[in-house]
Amino acid sequence: MYEMVTGQIPFDGENTVSIALAHLEDAIVPPSVYNPEIPVSLERIILRCCEKKPEFRYQNADDLIADLREALIHPDGETIKETSRTRNLGGETVVISDGDLAMIKGRVRPELPEEDLPSQKDSVQELNIIGQGISGAHLQDRQTEPEEFEDSEPGAPRRARRQHEEPEDGEASPGIERLLAGAGIVVAIIIVAVLITVVLKLGGLFQSGSGLFAARSTTEAAEEETEEYSLSDTEVYMPDVRNLPADIAEERLSESFLNMKSSYDYFDDVEEGRVADQDPEPDTVVAKGSNVTVVISYGTDKISLADLEIDSLDAATAQKLLERKSLTVVLVEEENETVEAGDVIRYEPELVEENGTVTLYVSSGPHVDTVTVPNITGQSESDAIALLAEAGLSPGETQTAESDTVTKGYIISQGTEAGTQIEPGGMVNYVVSSGAKVVKQRYVAAISETYDLSNLVGPGAGTSSVTVLIRLRQGSDSDPVYKILMEETTIKGDLLLPVNYTSIESIDGSNTGQIEIVDVDSGEVIKTYPLTFLPMN
């Protein structure tokens, strides 16, 4: 077992005596020193098999096989007991007793000349006897065997002489020893077979590129591992029913003697009515009659823009359609050589949640060479026109406006924002300042008089009438200006005409003027009242 996982024997020496002494005295090097990939459980089993004292080793093959099987399940060694007697590399040295040393010397004859040494077959038999002495098969005879050899005839081969002696009471005969050796071989074969199974299961030494069996492919190891498990009559492999219609999935599970328990949910990527998920997972081993929980798709609960054929609409129509479905629309323009300007090129996302946002990429038509609109705000009108001409543009519609901050003749604002890309030869509108607004001084006058019309009509005024108007006159005699205060009115000749105005505003801003009462029929001014206007805020 040690050599199989490390590629070398645990003890080596120049001859059998040095090897035997190493077995008794030297600490064994843990297999993981040579092969770090060996599982902890397997290393503990090997170290226990190699214990110095027989009582610390496995007492029978059944115990060893049981631990090997346990190692398949728990390779980290949590269930394999680590004996406190096992010593790691660099542990304490065991002092060999005089009796053990005498036994070794009595069984091997290093003092013989090379030509007198036993044959290879005899050496193997001697090593078996040494192994039996180390393993405890003859521990009870260790103190007596040297004396037996000392009583022997000097110079005679001790091993040969012992074979002709009759076994004493309590000592195993050579035939029994051979029988035990044969049984040991059979047990060793069983152990090796189980050990190979362990290594195959753990995969540490048989995987491609590692261990002693790197030549074996991963595929071969996987096939052996798969064949390792055989189903019982009450077990079955879980079939894969994902993406199957619910009725077919139920039929498939029924064929495997399994019961289907259904739940439902929404899935964007699974068609309505098909199985989206299952528990247990496919290819796991389950008991017949088990319940299998499957989740059946309701389909998606989102709005499919593909169903609305958004990409076949113009941007305005598409935007109205989406907004009627309570969606927010973001428009992004892109140049496109094939899609007409204003039409939708594409959209994002394909599926959108309720009250979600949709981005529409709208064609601005084929690529057109453009120029940048210069900043003419704050420039004089002449400089602004020069800047536009330099950029390949021309002035557009021009307006004037009063401004308290921009000097007269300078640009207040421009119609196309600076930095905008437009076609060459385009027109840019702008507004020119006419200067600050002129605030005129306000002059106001007031009058409160009455005029007796009987003075105009004379006797019989009570039976006659007259048509008059009242007006404000300002300006010069050669260029008078008028403002009507009372329109033409017909009044009986015996009444008093009121001339009462509290706020008469100057027409031309001068501070003088006069009120005139005019006879409409004759055009004659029948009465005047001078006015003085006072400045008002």
**How do residues 27-48 score in pLDDT, each as one tens digit?**
899 999 999 999 999 999 999 9
Q: Which residues contact 37 (CB under 8 A, 6 or more apart)?
A: 204, 205, 210, 211
pLDDT of amino acid 279 = 92
pLDDT digits (tens, 9 = 90+) for 311-337: 888 888 888 888 888 888 898 988 888
The answer to whether the beta carbons of residues 202 and 221 sit under 8 Å apart is no
Mean pLDDT of 414-419: 92
Tell me the C-alpha distance between 493 and 458, whole Å: 8
Rounded to whole angstroms, the Cα distance separating 421 from 364 reads 13
Give the angle 324-325-330 at the CA atoms, nearest 5°: 85
Q: Span 356-367, mean pLDDT?
A: 87
pLDDT at 388 over 70: yes
Q: What is the dihedral of CA 338, 343, 348, 351, to 10 degrees?
A: -120
Average pLDDT of the residues in 265-275: 86
Q: How far apart are the first and last CA of the chain?
A: 119
CA dihedral 329, 335, 340, 341 (to 10 degrees): 60
The pLDDT of residue 62: 93
Percent of the chain with pLDDT over 70: 75
- DSSP class of residue 64? H
> In the structure, what pLDDT confidence band is assigned to residue 300 with cuts at 50, 70 and 90?
confident
Q: What sign does the dihedral 502-507-512-513 (CA atoms) show? A: negative
Contact 347, 359 (CB under 8 A): yes
Q: Give the least confident one: 247-261, 329-343, 395-409.
A: 329-343
Say if residue 154 is preceded by a cis peptide, omega within 30 of 0.
no
Q: Cα(145)–Cα(418) distance, rounded to whole angstroms?
A: 116
* 3-state SS, one letter per residue, for 210-277: CCCCCCCCHHHHHHHHHHHCCCCCCEEECCCCCCCEHHHHHHHHHHCCCEEEEEEECCCCCCCCEEEE
Residue 515's pLDDT is 94
Q: Which amino acid is at 365?
A: G
* pLDDT at position 35: 93
What is residue 73's three-state secondary structure?
helix
Confidence of residue 103 (pLDDT cuts 50, 70, 90): low
Contacts of 289 (CB under 8 A, 6+ apart): 257, 258, 259
Which residue in 464, 463, 481 sits closest to 472, CA to CA?
481
At residue 23 the predicted structure's pLDDT band, cuts being 50, 70 and 90, is confident
214, 218, 223, 225: CA torsion to nearest 10: 70
**Where residue 82 falls among pLDDT bands split at 50, 70, 90?**
confident
56: which DSSP letter?
A: G
CA-closest candidate to residue 136, choices 179, 93, 106, 180 = 180
- 363 phi, psi to nearest 5 deg: -75, 135
Alpha-carbon distances, residue 502 vs 100, 440, 446, 448, 533 (angstroms): 148, 21, 4, 8, 12
The reported pLDDT for the residue numbered 188 is 82
Q: What is the pLDDT of residues 477-506, one digit of tens each?
A: 899 999 999 999 988 888 888 999 998 999
Residue 110 pLDDT level (bands cut at 50, 70, 90):
very low
Query: In whole angstroms, how far apart are CA 325 and each of 268, 331, 349, 353, 382?
Result: 19, 17, 15, 11, 53
Of the ranges 12-16, 128-132, 166-170, 446-450, the best mean pLDDT one: 446-450
**What is the mean pLDDT of the segment spanning 93-109?**
58
Cis amide linkage into residue 30, ω under 30° from 0: no
Give 42 or 456, the one with higher predicted confidence. Answer: 42
Written as one string, the DSSP assignment of 303-356 is: EEHHHHTGGGSBHHHHHHHHHHTT-EEEEEEE--SSSPTTBEEEEE-SEE-TT-
**Category of 276 on φ-ψ map: left (φ > 0), alpha (ψ -120 to 50) or beta:** alpha
Which position has the higher pLDDT, 419 or 185?
A: 419
With a pLDDT cut of 90, the percent of the chain lying above it is 33
Residue 191, H or E segment: helix 174-202
